[in-house]
Chain A
């Protein structure tokens, strides 16, 4: 028992140290262990952009290759032209027919502007385990990537990232929110200066 007590008390001391350190630190200026995240554009999509079921958004859509867009094909300063969103069914990664024109437009745009890059951000709704959802988000981003490649975009123009369920566009535990969150966002990037 004495030996056991000693082990326990060693542990008590270790944790005690942490506790004491916390108490002292409470009086010090807070110091983050984190470097500031790079300046990033807000990731809330204009929810009405593609299916109009969002509330209050009034985003206008113009085909990228139709108008007098800037030389990089993005339109001015990453306005609504710079973002497209493709939505998915539950637990699915197939691109539904109603979104094929977004893919076609994006692929044509990438093909005609070789310096243009797009980042595909895959997302899921909140249901299921977090890490498996990362896989599902990646699978959705890859479905869009493959479709873009098939239609003329080059490998080097596309990067993917999966946020799984970690970055919902809409909060809430109902299908209205979930359907907005199962998505791939097409995020155009003009150069190395952009995240």
Chain B
């Protein structure tokens, strides 16, 4: 009944040669901080799925439970409820071995089975085979084999979760993407600031940059190859662009005064940023990275900052307190354009971020004396929904599939990261085992 698995992927043969070149770059230093995920609010209508432990004949060698990570990814998304392994009465590893009637009785809509085994022909190579079935109609929805090395097992699990998510939900999964954030270690006066890039679940943290002076506002290039950020390493703010694969970095803005809030244009060729005049007036500019040409976009005695590009690259969203308190505006880049105010509810609305399809705006709002993450519908009447319940929730950033936002929050006096689905129904906390974490920026696909 089942077709044989037909897709075989060989990625690693080319890997070994390539790794040598990458290593010379020396951009990475290990970071040991790990994250503990707590789901603080789940979704009642989560889809039940059984991720059966993969057959692993030499599990000691593999020493990584791919199926468990797939199940965890799916559960943490809030869209799925992964069946507890203890409740599984049998553990099939191929589609042919699934007793569908039993699984249907256990109220699982979907079942994922597979195997994970060392490659007999090559050292440090593993083959993972997996199949996804609809347990109601017994239809096979996915069937693939992935070859990887030990280091790649974690990513392979995220890839599998991405495919399952997309097949069932119809939205591309973002489990295999990355998140950048700032970590602050130590206490006054000996703080260490680190720019870190980790997997989207907080694992695999790598230190991209370390300084005794503040680091701020990491921003991903659209191709995911570089980060722009603000560094005070010379005790003045400058904006740097750093390439992840080789650690090379370039100082792109070091004007007198403020150099802040970098944001990449959708084509990756320009940065919107905030500069100040001699008398300290902050305005938004656009910097052409190739020519260094600088164009002033806003011109107002107020604080204009926190720019974010529209999807078409022809407008900027930004924060301005020209009307008293900070509010969010949008301005066309066409010369002579005037900004249009977007937020009216409440006295503090700042740091806009648009969803990938630009139907929703996320920002920080003040409510009951607390700072919280809110969204506004950009299509209709501009309905506002407050998504978080903390006191110090700031720095929202959309996952590239738009389904989830990551933001900085506070947990028992410590800076932590938190996640909330863009409809507000699922909430989680990522508590680092070390230091404070702030300013998460979700990378592209």
Among A25, A35, A162, the residue within 8 A (CB) of B23 is: A25
B233 surroundings in chain A (CB, below 8 A) = 34-35, 37
Q: Determine whether the beta carbon of B213 is less than 8 Å from that of A37.
A: yes
Q: Determine whether the beta carbon of B151 is less than 8 Å from that of A134.
A: no
For residue B394, which residue of chain A has the nearest CB?
Answer: A129
Give B48 Cβ to nearest chain A Cβ, in Å: 25
A136 within 8 A of B: yes
A8–B160 alpha-carbon span in the complex (Å):
11
A: interface residue count bin: 35 or more
Q: Determine whether the beta carbon of A135 is less than 8 Å from that of B282.
A: yes
B204 surroundings in chain A (CB, below 8 A) = 19, 22
Q: Determine whether the beta carbon of A167 is less than 8 Å from that of B351.
A: no
Query: 1/0 contact trace for A101-139 toward B, CB 8 Å?
Result: 000000000000000000000000011111110111011
Among B7, B29, B154, B257, the residue within 8 A (CB) of A2 is: B7
A169–B187 alpha-carbon span in the complex (Å):
11
Among A13, A42, A130, A170, the residue within 8 A (CB) of B394 is: A130
Q: Determine whether the beta carbon of B395 is less than 8 Å from that of A129.
A: yes
Give A89 Cβ to nearest chain B Cβ, in Å: 15
A171–B189 alpha-carbon span in the complex (Å):
10
Question: Interface size (B, Cβ < 8 Å)?
Answer: 85
A16 surroundings in chain B (CB, below 8 A) = 11-12, 15, 148-149, 151-152, 155
Also in contact, A17 and B211, with CB within 8 A (given A132-B306, A142-B279): no
For residue B364, which residue of chain A has the nearest CB?
Answer: A129
Q: Determine whether the beta carbon of B244 is less than 8 Å from that of A18.
A: yes
Give A30 Cβ to nearest chain B Cβ, in Å: 5
A37–B209 alpha-carbon span in the complex (Å):
12
B89 surroundings in chain A (CB, below 8 A) = none
Among B26, B187, B257, B261, the residue within 8 A (CB) of A160 is: B257
Q: Determine whether the beta carbon of B394 is less than 8 Å from that of A38.
A: no
8 Å CB interface, A53-69 against B? none
Q: Determine whether the beta carbon of A15 is less than 8 Å from that of B155.
A: yes
Q: Determine whether the beta carbon of B187 is less than 8 Å from that of A130.
A: no
Q: Determine whether the beta carbon of A161 is less than 8 Å from that of B236.
A: yes
Query: 1/0 contact trace for B157-179 toward A, CB 8 Å?
Result: 00100110000000000001010
For residue A1, which residue of chain B has the nearest CB?
Answer: B7
Give A175 Cβ to nearest chain B Cβ, in Å: 12
Among A13, A32, A128, A141, the residue within 8 A (CB) of B280 is: A141
Instruction: Known pairs A13-B11, A17-B22; list 18 more (Cβ under 8 Å).
Output: A5-B9, A11-B445, A13-B15, A16-B12, A16-B155, A22-B151, A22-B204, A33-B247, A37-B233, A40-B213, A43-B189, A44-B189, A128-B348, A136-B303, A162-B237, A166-B232, A172-B413, A173-B392
8 nearest CB pairs, A to B: A135-B303, A142-B280, A166-B214, A129-B351, A21-B22, A129-B350, A31-B26, A131-B261
